[in-house]
Structure 1
């Protein structure tokens, strides 16, 4: 690892903010994730594993079932090559129901992009069907 591989705390925070801004924006196109995620990106969430293409399908599933969503960080730590957060994800479903999840996530970075996310989610508000929000796929 070279010094260029290590990001500053501000760079990591900015990358995560840009990722969640894209992820929570229904207008985000799949190709826009290329600047945020490595081609071999892996996301592990609640016992399921999504590769890059799976993540894109997950994103599409949320875009069609949610009218809005947001993420707010409660805790954030980084060493410049990895990070951990505790954050609250809030969403409003198309039918008007609210969802709130507490998420504990670990991230790894390569080439100033996210290459791995390993997370656990806990449903704070919503129906039992909403427990899969972190890994939901299109029907």
Structure 2
């Protein structure tokens, strides 16, 4: 499952182009994401990814650690983002992904801004 999540990070998040077909490849239409107290459904998540592509020119995600249990993978990862204004922000992310039928159906995550302007604090849930 770690390889699957790395693919998602690479093709959906690190990819500078918004591509809804790639989102549909990896995420169920029933997808729910809980991030820092905010709940996003599938359509809101798509808008979130679109917003990220508007604000971020480059994103790099490094998995620090992970744990797997049946259809769940937990990751501790760092997300480094270069914003359109040239500034860089880094977030520490703890995420629990639930996978069913080859797609992510839920993510429960906490993000912590560890470097950069405080206005990027909610980059993980912005729509």
**TM (normalized to structure 2)?**
0.95
| Structure 1 segments unaligned to the other structure (5+ residues) | 1-11
Kindly state the Cα deviation for residue 74 of structure 1 after the two structures are TM-superposed: 0.7
How far has the Cα of 1:42 moved from its partner? 0.5
CA RMSD, 1 decimal: 0.9
Match of 2:37 among 35, 47, 50: 47
> Is the deviation greater in 48-57 or in 20-29?
20-29
TM-score, normalised to structure 1, is 0.87
Q: Residue 105 of structure 2 aligns with which residue?
A: 115
Count of residues paired in the alignment: 126
The alpha-carbon deviation at position 34 of structure 1 amounts to: 1.4
Instruction: Measure, in 2, the Cα distance between the counterparts of 1:77 and 1:90.
Output: 22
Report Cα offsets for 1:88-117 as digits up to 9, x if no partner.
000001111000000011111100211000
Which stretches of structure 1, 4 residues or more, deviate above 4 A after TM superposition?
none
Alpha carbons 1:44, 1:50 under 8 Å: kept:
yes
Counterparts of 1:80 and 1:68 in 2: how far apart (Å)? 32
Match of 2:7 in 1: 18
**2:18–2:50 contact (8 Å) kept in structure 1:** no
Q: Which has the larger share of strand?
A: 2
Name structure 2 gaps, 5 residues minimum.
none
1:134 aligned partner: 124
Larger radius of gyration: 1
CA distance in 1, matches of 2:19, 2:103: 17
